[in-house]
Amino acid sequence: MKRQDVEDIEIKLLLEGIFQVHGYDFREYAEASIRRRLTQWLQCSGFGSFSEAQAHVLRDHELFNCLLDGITVNVSEMFRDPLFFKAMREDVVPHLKTYPFIKIWVAGCAAGEEAYSLAILLCEEGLEGHYRIYATDINEKTLKQAADGIYPIEKIQQFTQSYQKAGGKRDFADYYTARYDSAILAQKLKNNIVFASHNLTVDAGIGEMHMVLCRNLLIYFKAALKERVLALFDGSLANGGFLCLGVKETLSGRGIAGRYMEMAQGMRIYRKQYV
Ligand SMILES: C[S@@+](CC[C@H](N)C(=O)[O-])C[C@H]1O[C@@H](n2cnc3c(N)ncnc32)[C@H](O)[C@@H]1O
């Protein structure tokens, strides 16, 4: 048997063990990407093989958390894909304004960049105090960073450019305070966001949302898991609600597609039809 075939078996066993012991289910993540992430982690871990690592990962919670950090891709930016946020402002916000109170779920929120971008946009559109954002992720470490709302100052230039491209109405500097090498986001942005741990592979949905954002996460899932998670979002969305995916993700060909209409062309913003 080739070395790669043995490794594939070891990875399968490791993921099964992680599910059984820690309750995190990575068994239906896209193979190439999870293999790449695990291999990178193994190289830094000091273990000679996945089999050797397995016994320790299953017994040592801290080591498992390190592995979890290695598996999840937590890259994000404020106003990532600025044209998406521009379309949200122009095409979706007018509908959101018709509700007395808006509930939004940001699934896979990483360190909070997307949730805070949304909070800025909603405040600028006069919706301050009329919304709550539930921002969830499986990675506790990034959730803590998200709740702190503190980013390296060197990221601010890019955040500012994206904010402007997304149709920002003010000076981005109004939203943070610079301190040494950090930018601390304004407290008022944090007031209406709840950051919480939630695992899309095993947990139930969150009910009666007006909008669900899950961008740049489904690409890491195999087809069957994508279907299950999309069905979870469908069950969480009120009729007339909005489902937003990443630019490389689509509803086309998925089971729930028939109940949704694409809003802004190519922006992956879908509206659930009234039945
Ligand atoms: C690439 S980031 C995307 C962040 C943000 N949505 C964006 O588009 O910039 C993917 C996030 O999904 C989270 N994630 C991965 N698997 C998950 C799962 N099963 N349930 C919830 N979050 C998950 C990761 O921890 C990571 O923070």
Query: Are 92 and 197 part of one and the same domain?
Result: yes
Residues of the chain with pLDDT under 50: none
CA of 220 to the centre of ligand 1 (A): 9
Q: Is the dihedral of CA 114, 116, 122, 127 positive or negative?
A: positive
Q: What is the pLDDT of residues 198-240, one digit of tens each?
A: 999 999 999 899 999 999 999 999 999 999 999 999 999 999 9
- Which of 21, 47, 71 terminates a domain? The answer is 71
**Which of 134, 138, 203 maximizes ligand 1 atoms within 8 Å of its Cβ, making it the mutation to test the pocket?**
138
Average pLDDT, the chain: 96
Query: Are 47 and 97 part of one and the same domain?
Result: no
Q: What is the reported pLDDT for 25?
A: 96
Q: What is the reported pLDDT for 264?
A: 86
Query: Are 135 and 192 part of one and the same domain?
Result: yes
Matching residue, tokens 């949200």: 88
CA of 3 to the centre of ligand 1 (A): 31
CA of 109 to the centre of ligand 1 (A): 6
Domain that holds residue 24: 3-71
- List residues near ligand 1 (CB under 6 A): 72-76, 80, 108, 110, 114, 137-139, 142, 199-201, 215-217, 246
Q: Distance (Å, rounded) from C-alpha 102 to C-alpha 123?
A: 12
Q: What is the reported pLDDT for 275?
A: 78
Q: What is the reported pLDDT for 265?
A: 86
Query: Are 149 and 169 part of one and the same domain?
Result: yes
CA of 243 to the centre of ligand 1 (A): 16
- Which of 51, 71, 91 terminates a domain? The answer is 71
Query: Are 165 and 107 part of one and the same domain?
Result: yes
**CA 25 to ligand 1: nearest atom:** 19
Q: What is the reported pLDDT for 247?
A: 94
**Which of 72, 75, 158 maximizes ligand 1 atoms within 8 Å of its Cβ, making it the mutation to test the pocket?**
72
Domain tally, the chain:
2
- Which of 22, 43, 71 terminates a domain? The answer is 71
Q: What is the pLDDT of residues 21-40, one digit of tens each?
A: 999 999 999 999 999 999 99
Q: Is the dihedral of CA 216, 219, 220, 221 positive or negative?
A: positive
**pTM of full prediction above 0.75:** yes
CA of 138 to the centre of ligand 1 (A): 7
Query: Are 37 and 111 part of one and the same domain?
Result: no
